[in-house]
Amino acid sequence: MPPTRSTSKSVSNSTEKPQDSRKKNSNMLVLSPADEPRLGKIVLRPESYTEAVMLVKKHFEICRGYDVVLRTNELELCDKEMLEITEMFGR
C-alpha cells in the first residue's frame, strides 16, 4: 500500500481592514489562497472550523490527502500579521 500524501494548502481571509463594525461582523467571509490572493471567493461565514475547511476544499478543489491551513490578519490581536486559525479558536 503506497504512503499517504499530505501536503498543506494555506488559505487566508481577505487582507483588507474593515472600515466599520458592519463589515467586521458580516456573515460573509473571503477565502483566498495564500499564494494567489486575487483568486478570493466570497462565502457565507461557516459555523465551525470543520465547515470552514470543507468550504475551502470545495471552492478550491483540494483533493483528499491535502491539509488546509486557515490564516487571518483581521483580528486585532494579529497586529496585521498573518496567523494560523486553529480548530480550538472556535470553542
Q: What's the chain look like in SS3?
A: CCCCCCEEEEEEECCCCCCCHHHHCCCEEEEEECCCHHHCEEEECCCCHHHHHHHHHHHCCCCCCEEEEEEECCCHHHCCCCEEECHHHHC
Is 41 a domain residue?
A: yes
Question: pLDDT band at 12, cuts 50/70/90?
Answer: low
Of 10-14, 74-78, 82-86, give the lowest mean pLDDT range.
Answer: 10-14
Total domain count, the chain? 1
Residue with cell 462565502: 43
> Which of residues 27 and 20 earns the better pLDDT score?
27
The whole-number pLDDT of residue 91 equals 56
Question: Residue 12 is part of which domain span?
Answer: 7-90
**Would the pLDDT of 25 be above 70?**
no
Is 2 a domain residue?
A: no
Q: Which three cell numbers stand for residue 41?
A: 471567493
Q: How many residues does the chain have?
A: 91
Residue with cell 503506497: 2
Is 1 a domain residue?
A: no
pTM of the model: 0.65
The whole-number pLDDT of residue 70 equals 92
Is 62 a domain residue?
A: yes
